[in-house]
Amino acid sequence: EFKKADKSELLRTAGAEILEAVRSGQATKSPELLWPFLLLSFADLKKYHFYHWFAFPAVTADPPDTVSAAPVPVSTFVSKPYLAQLLAAFAGASQSAFIARYSPHAPEAPWHIGPLSKWDEIYSTVDDSISMLGFIDPSSHSTRPGWPLRNLLTWLRHCHPEITNIPVLCFRDTALIGHKYDEQLAQQCESIVVSVNVTPAASLESECQVSGWERNEKQKLLPRIVNLSSTMDPVRLAESALDLNLQLMRWRLAPSIDLAKIAGTRALLIGAGTLGAYTARALLAWGMRKITFVDSGRVSFSNPPRQPLYEFVDTLDGGKPKAEAAASSMRRIFPNVDAQGVQMSIPMPGHTVSPAELERTRATVEQLEQLVKSHDAVFLLTDSRESRWLPTMLGTLHRKIVICVALGFDSFVAMRHGIYTQGDDFAGTDNGQNMRLGCYFCNDVVAPTDSLSDRTLDQQCTVTRPGLAPIASGTAVELLTTILQHPQGAEAPPPGGNDDAGAFGAPEHQIRGYLAGFRQHAIVGQASSMCTACSPIVVNAYRQHGFEFLLRAFNNTLEDASHCSTAENVSYLETLTGLAALHRQTDDMLEAIEWSGSDDDFEAV
């Protein structure tokens, strides 16, 4: 209806009402009838967009009235002392249109101002007095009168047809009325006087031409729009409140924090369980807007009390998929977060891939790698050790920030994985002047394998003290923000000589916490050249052989098992990285010591 409103007809109707007010004499008594306005408005309450379009109907003469002399400032038209008396004369006037007589040789009262209804009393052409038609002019242009003059001349044409030329006082100095006159005040006067040739009513070809629709800020005949979504939309209000809380932290305590860098970080959470739920909430509190969950499970009855993103309703009918349920919960908590859930069972070493599962597993690997590439930080939050292997290797390959969190009954570890520099090309472990930091698997002397089959009930569940997960998750998120605020980012060395670098100092490598005694230790561990997840030989094997390499790792398939007495007891990854050879050397040494019977040799080993 707003768009379809007949704007021309609305103006014609308003113009007809103006002419009727003139002809009936009502406009003489009430000049405000000469200047109605129209307002079309529409409120889009879903988007909080408010559209409005003003029209100030102006009756246009045909042929039009013309200006007979260039407009002049009122301070030029009259002398300055009389200008002060003009302002004084307006002090008691309340009409928007008036008749004024200026008598320069009557110093005591040079100005006589009255309403239009006193025309016959005030208007005079005798002696040297000057009679003027006047109105309160809203125009701010130095030489152009405002639109109300058109309708005022229409009144003059009909009510005093004998007038064909008249000076018009366009009074604009209502703000100066009542002020004491001085030279500075004279310079502030903006009123002008313009002499107008009035087209006689008998000469008009048409008097029903009406214009007046306002142009928008782009000078087009279109409505104006006021967007109040930022102040009225609850979603926008929630976003502003979150940002304000973070900005207060920066303003008061840490002025060097780069909040935009934190907010722009894209986080991939591998695991949407207890650790995933608490980690996501902490990331959201830091203002991160892009969070993706990866999980293969469904919400069970034991989850809602321990995992803050789920409710009892999520457990019904077999349970909702965890990843999507977590993402949906995040969007309910904060609608502006871009939270997505990916239901995915991550392929793992020691978990055989059958021929029927081959293509599905290949597609899963490709999807996971694409997720890692499209995010900035990867959190490893799964229950099993082997499920962290593939994300660790992919994070290393694509040089992403990888943070691993693992829980014991009353202990936890939160650690960041070391990253290869751009120029290293996965050729070694040197990272500039510092050795590359180790990953979650670097301290292991055995490759990850199937730890999920044939587990008892207590082994199938994460049995930890309930307060441990939020502590570990919060520590991991703060570790990430510390990395993001460091000048070297993911390549930042652990605390040492540059402890003060960055808003929060240097990020630790590993934080190990113990609820027993409420102790916490920061540990630094170097990368292992035999690591089954991040060593150069593993990363390059994937770069060269792709999915075929992964398939050998999943199925534990040895390329050459001739040197092994029992091939099935030797891991492909251990053989590839040299751990299997290290095991054989250790076994041979221990066997030699056993046969020698020397306690000294055993103690030496």
Length of the chain: 605
At residue 467, the 3 state secondary structure works out as: coil
Note whether 295 and 344 are within 8 A (CB): yes
Which range has highest mean pLDDT (98-112, 190-204, 317-331, 458-472)?
A: 317-331
* Cα separation values, 250 from 242, 279, 284, Å: 13, 22, 17
Q: How confident is the model at residue 423 (pLDDT cuts 50, 70, 90)?
A: low
Instruction: Output the average pLDDT for the chain.
Output: 86
Higher pLDDT, 588 or 93: 588
Query: What pLDDT sits at residue 31?
Result: 92
CA distance 295 to 277: 12
- Angstrom distance (rounded) from CA 167 to CA 133: 6
Burial class (CB in 10 A: 0-12, 13-18, 19+), 521: exposed
Write out the DSSP string of 217-250.
TTSSSS-EEEE-HHHH-HHHHHHHHHHHHHHHHH
For Cα atoms 546, 547, 552, give the angle at the middle one, nearest 5 degrees.
110
Q: Give the pLDDT confidence score for residue 180 in this predicted structure.
A: 64
85 vs 104, 189, 279, CA distance in Å?
11, 13, 76
Q: Is 424 helix (H, G, I), strand (E, B) or coil?
A: coil
Which residues lie below 8 Å from residue 231, measured CB to CB, with a gap of 6+?
48, 237
Q: Are 22 and 201 in contact (CB under 8 A)?
A: no
Helix (H/G/I), strand (E/B), else coil: 399 = coil
What is the band of 432 on the pLDDT scale with cuts at 50, 70, 90?
Answer: very low
What's the Cα-to-Cα distance from 540 to each of 52, 239, 394, 448, rounded to whole Å? Answer: 64, 44, 11, 19
Quote the DSSP letter at residue 175. Answer: G
Please check whether residue 504 is in contact with residue 482, taking contact to mean a CB–CB distance below 8 angstroms.
Answer: yes
74-84 pLDDT tens trace: 877 776 666 67
Active site residues: 461
Could you give the C-alpha distances from 312 to 288, 307, 462, in angstroms and in order? 27, 11, 19
**Can you give the pLDDT at residue 567?**
42
Task: Return the exposure string of 244-269: e unless at least 16 CB atoms fall within 10 Å of the residue's CB, then b.
Answer: eebeeeeeeeeeebebeebeebbbbb
Q: What is the pLDDT of residue 563?
A: 45
Query: Model confidence over 188-198: pLDDT tens digits?
Result: 778 899 999 99
CA separation for the pair 34, 187 (Å, rounded):
31
Q: What is the mean pLDDT of residues 361-369?
A: 96
Kindly indicate the confidence band of residue 561, based on its pLDDT and cuts at 50, 70 and 90: very low
pLDDT bin (cut points 50, 70, 90) of residue 113 is: confident
